[in-house]
């Protein structure tokens, strides 16, 4: 099931040309990821703390831009999650102007996450709290 999030482009997120600064796209993607975790009952403070026996680094990202986003633009961001292995998943994000037709993106992004042991730095099975999140938001198809 896709997770949908809404946000407004802020003045401080734009560059001298008045459009969204490119690196903000991945910040927004992570904002959606964090919000979806909390929506599924994950305690973000605990999840992102270094006290866990595991860490969840992002090992790959990508973004495509199709139309400029400016201060005041309302965005609808749709996140889809795909399990890749028992230790890995991919999040795909589609950015739309709020109220626009969903066949016209303003941007797309993805992040690939791998669960590793904090000490050994080797892959490990995704922890139970994240497994609940995956079960809630995972899409049945393989990622693109």
| Measured torsion, CA atoms of residues 15, 16, 19, 23, in degrees rounded to the nearest 10 | -20
CA distance linking residue 5 with residue 18, whole number of Å: 23
Distances (CA, A) of 41 to 19, 35, 54, 96, 136: 34, 10, 19, 26, 11
The CA-atom distances, in angstroms, between 107 and each of 20, 67, 111, 116, 122 are 11, 7, 14, 30, 33
Beta bridge partners of residue 63, listed in sequence order: 109
- Catalytic annotation, pick one of 15, 73, 103, 117: 15
Catalytic residue flag (residue 15): yes
User: Which are the catalytic amino acids?
Assistant: 15
């Amino acid at each position: 099931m896709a997770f949908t999030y809404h946000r407004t482009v802020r003045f401080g997120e734009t560059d001298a040309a008045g459009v969204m600064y490119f690196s903000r796209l991945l910040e927004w993607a992570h904002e959606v990821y964090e919000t979806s975790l909390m929506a599924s009952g994950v305690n973000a403070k605990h999840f992102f703390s270094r006290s866990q026996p595991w860490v969840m680094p992002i090992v790959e990202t990508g973004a495509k831009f199709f139309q400029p986003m400016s201060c005041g633009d309302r965005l609808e961001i749709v996140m889809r999650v795909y399990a890749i292995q028992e230790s890995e998943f991919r999040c795909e994000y589609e950015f739309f102007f709020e109220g626009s037709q969903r066949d016209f993106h303003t941007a797309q992004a993805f992040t690939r996450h791998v669960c590793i042991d904090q000490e050994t730095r080797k892959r490990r099975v995704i922890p139970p709290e994240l497994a609940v999140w995956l079960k809630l938001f995972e899409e049945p198809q393989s990622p693109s």
